[in-house]
A and B are shown apart, each in its own frame.
Chain A
Amino acid sequence: MTDLDLEVRDGVDRETIETVHAMSGTYKYGWSTEIEMDYAPKGVSEDIVRLISSKNEEPEWMLEWRLTAYRRWVQMEEPHWAMLHYPKIDYQDQYYYAKPKSMAVKPKSLDEVDPKILATYKKLGIPLKEQLILAGVEGAETMGERKVAVDAVFDSVSVGTTFKAELAKAGVIFCSISEAIKEHPELVKKYIGSVVPQSDNFFATLNSAVFSDGSFVYIPPGTRCPMELSTYFRINAENTGQFERTLIIADKGSYVSYLEGCTAPKRDTNQLHAAVVELVILEDAEVKYSTVQNWYPGDENGLGGIYNFVTKRADCRGDRAKVMWTQVETGSAITWKYPSCILRGDDSQGEFYSIAIANNAQQADTGTKMVHLGKRTKSRIVSKGISAGRAQNTYRGLVSMHPKATDSRNYTQCDSLLIGDKCGAHTVPYIEVKNNSSRVEHEATTSKVDEDQLFYCRSRGMDEEEAVALVVNGFCKEVLQALPMEFAMEAQSLVAISLEGSVG
């Protein structure tokens, strides 16, 4: 690291503490926007699936694809193997489609989007203007100009995508998936469901039937995406599930870094979020996918909050393909999420860096799967679980070395930190090695937040919450460092905010 790096990093940490103090409340994004919506009738049925498809003006093949999924889904049962306890979900008591009335005719450009929606994103701090993003820390100017293109998804629809023209010049396609189905059917048809098949699991199958929108990315061969891409998901409507679907294709020798953020208003009822993310990574291509998941977690008694059931999977289809998942999971009442890597190409690599924080009554069951199919494939898992309040936090991971995946390696490090004595941390690693030349290493630790460390910080003048935030951010450092700069800052302050009230 250069001296400059240090100063910037240092500024980042400082920023965190300030942000935390500035936000003396709890969940910062809990407000909602009053907006007129068009709803499909409550519940899910073939008719609803047809309605969603027709609202999106989809071709026939897409409708058939959805219906296949729906017919499959009605025969499936909700899985209950995760360490999660929640009341039975009534799938007929939700809206599956909610679209702002102002979006009835899709705006041609962001200037035409309802000012209320634009104001919502502004309040969330999401730039929907095509502007340079300065990281907001001293020294950041010197890192050069940075641009981030944003696709903004509001309830069931994408309201707009920035920097499309500039990206198109580089041959990059970045648009909503509903648009891609119409504009780039050959790509969507070829790749959708090729990583997470329609019948994959209960939640993914439901998503395949009713997904309303999401993001689509295609990076052509040999292209380094000229800016970071991001999608920002906002659930606003009440009793409405969000089912988005993201498909990213990195063609041979290409590179893209993609960020995903999510928030929702405070509501007393639980809301369902069942997303699917598919990454297709061809020969010598590389994808970095970072998530800061900050759905409403419910109140301190466990009332309300998002049920987050997400299927994310990357298929390293070509030789030397690389994927890196980084996730910071601080929100949601329930998190069920296992971003996975299929290491199919020889010498392909998968990495998973995760911070999962569960406070109050939150429950998180999250981890990854590393499926080694190709020769000399490598994977690395770094998981940091933090439990506070009465929360339960489970790491669940699978490392599988197939017979042909010779000379492959995995390294797993799984650390749990407990704050207080009413919470729980659980580690459930599954390891299967079916050849003799591969090696799997697993290290796990569980510790309590160290009183001596907290006292040391406090004796230097920090208050208890500042001390906890500092120590926990230190515990998470490896993962925070894997995030792009802006996200690292946001994540650090989130870590601190989501632990508010966990001490004292």
Chain B
Amino acid sequence: MLEINNLHVKLEEEDKIILRGVNLKIGAGEVHAIMGPNGSGKSTLSYVLSGRDGYEVTEGSAKLEGAELLEMEPEARAAAGLFLAFQYPVEIPGVGNMTFLRTAVNAQRKARGEAEISAGDFLKLVREKAKALQIDAEMLKRPVNVGFSGGEKKRNEILQMAMLEPKMCILDETDSGLDVDAMKLVAEGVNALRGAGRSFLVITHYQRLLDHIKPDFVHIMAAGRIIKTGGPELALEVENNGYADLLAEGV
């Protein structure tokens, strides 16, 4: 599904190197987790994959189903099936959440040469998905993320994911700042999307999310590199001992 090879990234405006040779291969239907200390480059990796400005790829490649992502516009990556649930979802004043969703769904359909979804079908679909995430009609009407609580924002990201049905989902600390119930909702939302060859890359600091979303592989990222890869037990090790031992090992 996703194959990242020797990815090196620096900031465009400064000489600061953030990613120093990331290698990662995610097969269809697999769930991978990335853990790692703050500032190790996890969000940067997710932004670079989705095409945000401000970064310069100095080396390496990232392919989604064989197609080079790094050469595509962000919207083309989305249409190709990539989705990022933002660590900090962006507020868009004045734009209704529904309008946003519908514009996005249809933009992707159009890019893929598919017919647009009818207003009726869209409404039915959005209501059904929103219900599962306990997002009420009121929240669907409000402007995108404006005045949403932290938990509401994260659930809203999962709603977008559910509506867009991407192939490769990246979740950047979607569990941070959520209470136990909200986290369960998010995890259920993700689990409902598992299967059908859909792959996930879950960035998190906490084992508790991985209790709900069982990963196939866990990677530890530090200083712009993946320094260790293992099974679910690696996440438990971090939970119990922190990163210190792993970091020492990694050097």
Contacts and interface: CB of A to CB of B under 8 A. Distances in A.
Nearest to A138: B119
A427 B111 CA distance: 41
Chain A interface extent, by class: 35 or more
B74 A475 contact: no
A9 interface: yes
Of the listed residues A13, A461, A470, the one surrounded by the most CB atoms of chain B closer than 10 A to its CB is: A461
10 contacts: A13-B96, A138-B119, A450-B90, A459-B78, A460-B78, A461-B164, A463-B73, A470-B99, A474-B143, A476-B94
B180 interface: no
Interface string A445-476: 00000111101111111111010001101111
A1 B78 contact: no
Interface string B66-93: 0000000111011100011010011111
B78 A10 contact: no
Interface in B45-62: 50-53
Given A6-B141, A14-B103, A139-B119, A461 B78 contact: yes
Interface in B102-134: 102-108, 111, 119-120, 123
Interface string A472-496: 0111111000000000000000000
Contact of A473 (B94, B111, B137): B94
Contacts, number: 115
Given A14-B106, A470-B100, A475 B93 contact: yes
A446 to B, nearest CB: 15
A256 interface: no
Given A450-B90, A475-B94, 17 more contacts: A6-B140, A9-B99, A11-B119, A455-B90, A456-B86, A456-B90, A458-B78, A460-B107, A461-B107, A461-B108, A463-B73, A463-B75, A470-B95, A470-B99, A470-B100, A470-B103, A477-B93
A460 B160 contact: yes
Contact of A460 (B53, B73, B96, B164): B164
Contacts of A475: 93-94
B92 A474 contact: yes
Given A460-B164, A461-B79, A461-B111, A3 B74 contact: no
A106 B94 CA distance: 47
B165 to A, nearest CB: 12
Dominant SS among interface residues on chain B: helix
Contact of A453 (B90, B99, B108): B90
B98 interface: yes
A7 interface: yes
Contacts of B103: 13-14, 17, 457, 462, 466, 470
A440 B208 CA distance: 54
A477 B94 contact: yes
A461 B103 CA distance: 9
Contacts of B74: 455, 458-459
B107 A463 contact: yes
A502 B212 CA distance: 46
Contacts of B105: 461
A478 B75 CA distance: 28
B51 A14 contact: no
A466 B107 contact: yes
A466 B105 CA distance: 13
Interface residues of B, number: 41
B178 to A, nearest CB: 20
Q: Which 7 A-B pairs have the closest CB atoms?
A: A474-B94, A477-B94, A474-B95, A461-B108, A460-B104, A456-B90, A461-B78
Nearest to A477: B94
A459 B84 contact: yes
B61 to A, nearest CB: 20
Contacts of B73: 458, 463-464
A477 B83 CA distance: 28
A66 B65 CA distance: 75
A135 to B, nearest CB: 13
Given A13-B99, A461-B104, A456 B141 contact: no
B199 to A, nearest CB: 17
B66 to A, nearest CB: 20
B137 A471 contact: no
A453 B86 CA distance: 12
Of the listed residues B52, B86, B94, B105, the one surrounded by the most CB atoms of chain A closer than 10 A to its CB is: B94
Contacts of A459: 50-52, 74-75, 77-78, 83-84
B108 to A, nearest CB: 4
Nearest to A137: B119
A10 B160 contact: no
A481 to B, nearest CB: 9
Nearest to B98: A10
A10 B137 contact: no
Contacts of A6: 96, 98, 137, 140-141
A14 B164 contact: no
B74 to A, nearest CB: 4
Given A17-B103, A139-B119, A458 B51 contact: yes
Nearest to A458: B74
A301 B126 CA distance: 45
A460 to B, nearest CB: 4
Nearest to B95: A474
A339 to B, nearest CB: 23
Contacts of A3: 137
A433 to B, nearest CB: 31
Of the listed residues B99, B123, B143, the one surrounded by the most CB atoms of chain A closer than 10 A to its CB is: B99
Interface string B8-44: 0000000000000000000000000000000000000
A6 to B, nearest CB: 5
B110 to A, nearest CB: 8
A187 B117 CA distance: 54
Contact of A7 (B91, B104, B119, B164): B119
A141 B89 CA distance: 37
A459 B140 CA distance: 20
